[in-house]
């Protein structure tokens, strides 16, 4: 005796799952073929453009590479030795002294 589920019997559920998986496989295969075709077309177009304008292609690639390098290095900037051990502590000390004097002046005004 087949067990009844809200989606039908177990055999019906297995059949639906099998059909769905086949549909998904077919869709993935179709998408893969389309992507492969578009990629090949893009490579052919790029190769043709490089052959027609080799100097502009090399300059463009160099500028693009330099821009990417700059962005990577800019994101990794670390404080120098002077910034870490001289400028920051002195700046913090100056802020502390300034706030202490402000507090003292505020208290003196009260008197």
Cα–Cα–Cα angle for 38, 43, 49, nearest 5°? Answer: 125
pLDDT at 3: 64
Percent above pLDDT 70 for the chain: 90
**What does residue 77 show for φ and ψ, rounded to 5 degrees?**
-60, 130
Taking only the tens place, the pLDDT of each residue in 26-80 is 999 999 999 999 999 999 998 998 899 999 999 999 999 999 998 888 777 677 7
Inter-residue contact 7 to 13 (CB < 8 Å): yes
């Amino acid at each position: 005796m087949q067990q009844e589920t809200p989606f039908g019997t177990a055999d019906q559920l297995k059949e639906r799952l099998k059909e769905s998986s086949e549909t998904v496989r077919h869709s993935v295969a179709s998408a893969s073929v389309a992507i492969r075709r578009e990629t090949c077309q893009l490579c052919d177009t790029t190769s043709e453009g490089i052959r027609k304008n080799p100097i502009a292609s090399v300059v463009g690639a160099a500028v693009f590479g330099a821009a990417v390098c700059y962005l990577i290095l800019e994101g990794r900037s670390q404080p120098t030795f002077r910034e870490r051990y001289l400028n920051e502590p002195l700046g913090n000390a100056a802020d502390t002294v300034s706030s202490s004097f402000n507090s003292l002046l505020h208290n003196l005004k009260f008197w």
